[in-house]
Amino acid sequence: MDNKVLIFDTTLRDGEQAPGFSMNVEDKLKMARQLEKLNVDIIEAGFPIASEGDFEAVRTVSKEVRTPTIAGFARAVKKDIDRCAKALEHANKPRIHVFLATSDIHLTYKLNKSRAEALAAATESIRYARTLCDDVEFSAEDAGRTDLDFLVEISEAVIHAGARTVNFPDTVGYCIPEDYGRMIRNLRSRVKNIDRAIISTHCHNDLGLAVANSLAGIQNGVRQVECTINGIGERAGNAALEEIVMALQVRQQAFGVTTNINTKELHVTSQLLREVTSMPVQANKAIVGDNAFAHESGIHQDGMLKNAIIYEILTPESVGIPQGKMVLGKHSGRNALVARCRSLGFQPTPEELEHAYNLLTAMTAKKKTIEDADLQEIILLTRS
């Protein structure tokens, strides 16, 4: 089996659907150019039938961004597929991504279709899409709650019809890693023509398990992961691209796979999305949050000063952050205070250090974080 995992970024499609994260054409193009620098394999640029804005975004991105595959999203209906193909006509590497719900819950309450009708629609739409584009993907929406026998049947049918990638989304974040991994394992063993397609995952984070489920999928044969920058997306979001990529890198021996991602572009990509959407990233967000490489606890700071590997399993530089932060606050110890004083050119004696530490402790009762200006004030008082 290939040990390369393709990274399919859907920040511009599924991510943008989240409330507050909408982007115009210019925003999407700016993000797409950065995603190209990040070296993602596929960029899903939008849902062309949804609006003129989405059509233009897919059209513009596919014209301007040439290295990754550019995908457009389409329901399993001819008008969607035609619109998608039109938006992608100038793409260097186009992909039509067709989706259809397969769970009985969705078929009954949303689509009012039988399994047989869904099977026919999926097969016909993939066959038609292949007349317009050589690279076609099929997504079985709500695969995580779909009857396995039917999922096997529809997978075989769409691959036979020409789908080169089959995606099994945990659309509502219902699965747990053991379930999701078992589903992929069963599909690999039961879908007779599965060797003709790349298996993909697209997990949502409703139970906080999107990344864990995606990794479970990879352990069981998934070789494309659909994810978003900062984990943005519907409801609680999608699997976070930066978390998946760095988990695969840090635990490479455990997973045995690699990606094409230039990890040193992760932080700047996260920051650009924050700028474009005016939406903050939680401080404790893994990999790209403001506190991901920040240390305030005295015990942790002491360990970091001795050897960063004691408390950091990856370096800030590996994800494009120049350096970590030693934050002076009420939990800080004397070693961190000495290090910060020295960085400002002050070499305290033991007596001066004790005085400065007492002043620091008093100041942290009023301020959560001590900035350099505050420390300069402490140093002046210590010297007086």
Q: Is the four-CA dihedral 308, 313, 318, 320 of positive or negative sign? A: negative
Establish how many alpha carbons lie within 13 A of residue 44's alpha carbon, considering only the half-sphere containing its beta carbon: 25
Same structural domain, 311 and 350: yes
Read off the CATH number of the domain in which 109 is found: 3.20.20.70
Examine residue 222 and state whether it is found in any structural domain, yes or no.
yes
Examine residue 285 and state whether it is found in any structural domain, yes or no.
no
Q: Is 96 in a helix, a strand, or coil?
A: strand
Examine residue 131 and state whether it is found in any structural domain, yes or no.
yes
Q: Is 353 in a helix, a strand, or coil?
A: helix
How far is Cα 379 from Cα 146, in angstroms, rounded to an integer?
65
> For the chain, what is the domain count?
2
The residue out of 242, 277, 312 marking a domain boundary is: 277
β-bridge mates for residue 72, sequence order: 46, 96
Examine residue 284 and state whether it is found in any structural domain, yes or no.
no
Examine residue 282 and state whether it is found in any structural domain, yes or no.
no
The residue out of 277, 305, 329 marking a domain boundary is: 277
Same structural domain, 99 and 168: yes
Same structural domain, 184 and 231: yes
Same structural domain, 243 and 368: no
Judge whether 113 and 107 are in contact, CB under 8 Å.
Answer: yes
Same structural domain, 312 and 221: no
Same structural domain, 304 and 270: no
Examine residue 283 and state whether it is found in any structural domain, yes or no.
no
Give 169-202 pLDDT, tens digit per residue. 999 999 999 999 999 999 999 999 999 999 999 9
Same structural domain, 110 and 230: yes
Examine residue 43 and state whether it is found in any structural domain, yes or no.
yes
Same structural domain, 325 and 199: no
Examine residue 302 and state whether it is found in any structural domain, yes or no.
yes
Same structural domain, 133 and 269: yes
Same structural domain, 202 and 315: no
Give 103-150 pLDDT, tens digit per residue. 999 999 999 999 999 999 999 999 999 999 999 999 999 999 999 999
Query: How many H-runs (helices) and E-runs (strands) does the chain carry?
Result: 15, 10
Which residues form the domain of 91?
6-277
Judge whether 51 and 13 are in contact, CB under 8 Å.
Answer: no
**What is the full per-residue pLDDT of the chain (384 aa) written as tens digits?**
689 999 999 999 999 999 999 999 999 999 999 999 999 999 999 999 999 999 999 999 999 999 999 999 999 999 999 999 999 999 999 999 999 999 999 999 999 999 999 999 999 999 999 999 999 999 999 999 999 999 999 999 999 999 999 999 999 999 999 999 999 999 999 999 999 999 999 999 999 999 999 999 999 999 999 999 999 999 999 999 999 999 999 999 999 999 999 999 999 999 999 999 999 999 999 999 998 988 877 778 878 878 889 889 999 999 999 877 777 788 888 888 888 888 888 899 998 888 888 988 888 888 887 888 888 888 888 876
The residue out of 247, 277, 307 marking a domain boundary is: 277
Same structural domain, 338 and 230: no
Q: Closest Cα partner for 289 from 281, 301, 297, 279?
A: 281
Same structural domain, 219 and 346: no
